Amino acid sequence: MQPITVVTTAGRPDEISITLAQKACDELGLRFEERKKRSVAKISEQLNANVIVAGKNRYEYYPKDAKAPFFFHPNSAAFRLKRVARGEHDPMLDACQLEKGDSFLDCTLGIGSDAMLAAYQVGEEGTVVGLEADPNVAFIVQKGMATYDTSELPLTKCMRQIKIIQSEAVVFLQKQPANAFDVVYMDPMFEEVIEESNNFEALRDAGQHITLTEEWVREAIRVAKKRVVLKAHFRSTAFEQFGFKRDIRLTSKFHYGVIEK
């Protein structure tokens, strides 16, 4: 039986966490569960439920049986942005070849690090859309990007620029006209772990594991105006299977592949 999802507050709720919990219930159509001094694990076990916790400063998402909660944090994006701002290369941006004013579709948003880099590259005149299939993950990341408090610029501006849409990639792509985005990007969750981020294991537990398909690639090619970019583990056969020109990076766990239009 698939677990339900409920919303609760922090252990000692105040008015802010109660308000945030109600907001999550309203937006996601979920039921509220009073904490009643129970641990999150206990609530999850008793109700066979995923649990969203509205804390004082952020939302945390505890998928059923997950080892750790998923929450929004800019993670590696902050370090990557600093390097790019200094004029250093970023492999993802090298593969995408984004220009100021371009439109970028991230089919697998996750925590949003790549989308933040894309937002920096395309500038205020550009457009960045991020798709997240799991509604709970999409909610956590959307609220996190809208409210995360940081004095680090241009990080804040990049976060606020991203439009997050809860949708499976193929479903969204099918609704778009041809050449709707300059670059279509995808980083599916394959079985190999390809991130070093602390929050990635939690994301693997929380997010949907969707395998690349011929239909997905075909729709991405149709919707992309300039190129389609794939990120995958260096052992992945998807590059050759779907016709991506692979950029082999000998010292990296992951590679990028490109299909030019």
pLDDT in the model for residue 189: 66
pLDDT at 188 over 50: yes
Q: Which class for 129: exposed (0-12), middle (13-18), buried (19 or more C-beta within 10 A)?
A: buried
Whether residue 29 lies inside any domain: the answer is yes
> Chain centroid to CA 157: how far?
17
Whether residue 71 lies inside any domain: the answer is no
The whole-chain average pLDDT of the chain stands at 90
Judge if 190 and 220 occupy the same domain: yes
Judge if 81 and 169 occupy the same domain: yes
Judge if 94 and 171 occupy the same domain: yes
Whether residue 180 lies inside any domain: the answer is yes
Judge if 35 and 145 occupy the same domain: no
Domain assignment of residue 43, given as a range: 4-62
Whether residue 141 lies inside any domain: the answer is yes
We report the CATH number of the domain holding residue 19 as 3.40.50.10480
Judge if 164 and 39 occupy the same domain: no
pLDDT in the model for residue 196: 46
The answer to whether 52 and 71 are in contact (CB under 8 A) is no
Judge if 185 and 157 occupy the same domain: yes
Judge if 93 and 187 occupy the same domain: yes
SS3 label, residue 106: strand
Average pLDDT over residues 31-56: 95
Pick from 12-16, 66-70, 141-145, 199-203: least confident: 199-203
* CA 61 – CA 55 distance, rounded (Å): 11
Total structural domains in the chain? 2
* CA 124 – CA 160 distance, rounded (Å): 11
Pick from 50-59, 145-154, 168-177: least confident: 145-154
Judge if 46 and 151 occupy the same domain: no
The answer to pTM > 0.85 is yes
SS3 label, residue 256: strand
pLDDT at 199 over 70: no
Closest CA to 176 of 138, 225, 133: 225
Judge if 171 and 210 occupy the same domain: yes
Judge if 89 and 155 occupy the same domain: yes
Judge if 103 and 200 occupy the same domain: yes
The answer to whether 261 and 225 are in contact (CB under 8 A) is yes
Average pLDDT over residues 1-30: 94
